[in-house]
Amino acid sequence: MDDIQIVERVLDGDRDAFSHLVRKYMNAVYAMLLRMVHHEEEARDLAQECFIRAYRNLHRFDPARSFATWLFQIARNACVDEWRQKKGNMAPFLETDVAEKKTPEEIVVENEEMEEMAGWIRALPPHYQAVLLLRYRHDFSYKEIAEILEISPHDVANRLHRARKKLREMRDRNQRREIRDELLC
């Protein structure tokens, strides 16, 4: 049974059918929120809030759209609402998958590089962080990101381009600083 059929069952009064959608999407929603808020408990609370909002607003869901995209938009909005309340910073944390055949030194270097990259990403404005997270961590298409963030696909492309450019600039500045420091030693 696909998502649209499940939504139709819920709208027809089958409350238990919604649990299928929760089971299917809970881990992905939680993972996205965790990367945005960096706190497990807060991410769990936001994920629950997301599904509550989805259930309450299921009558507004447009079956012509993807349920996953609609749900991730709700999750993103729940996170933004929380962020606005706390005046915090949405910073997706990009994890690395460590290959088994790497030496301990390679693993340490890779982890340091990923931590450095995560710091640069956290330094970006939230609207750049969001497009990077949705594109590279969750593999959403430009169209899906546009729907989630309520912007045009063209704006998604522009934000991704600018975010990558800023990351390259940060990397280049860091490399110049490292070279300068080595020369001065």
How much of the chain, in percent, has pLDDT values that exceed 70? 84
Residues 27-63 have pLDDT tens digits of 989 988 887 777 888 889 999 999 999 999 999 999 8
pTM score, two decimals? 0.54
Nearest to 90 by CA among 144, 154, 39, 50: 39
Mean model confidence pLDDT for the chain: 82
Residues 157-168 have pLDDT tens digits of 999 999 999 999
Tokens read off for 184: 């001065």
C-alpha of 31 from chain center: 8
Q: What are phi and psi of 150, to 5 degrees?
A: 60, 50
Domains along the sequence of the chain with CATH: 1-88 (1.10.1740.10), 98-185 (1.10.10.10)
Q: Which amino acid is at 68?
A: A
Nearest to 145 by CA among 80, 85, 73: 73
Q: Is the pLDDT of residue 89 over 60?
A: no
Tell me the C-alpha distance between 161 and 5, whole Å.
38
Please report where in the chains the tokens 């931590």 appear, as a residue.
Answer: 115
Q: Which helix (H) or strand (E) holds 59?
A: none
**Stretch among 62-71, 107-116, 120-129 having the lowest mean pLDDT:** 107-116
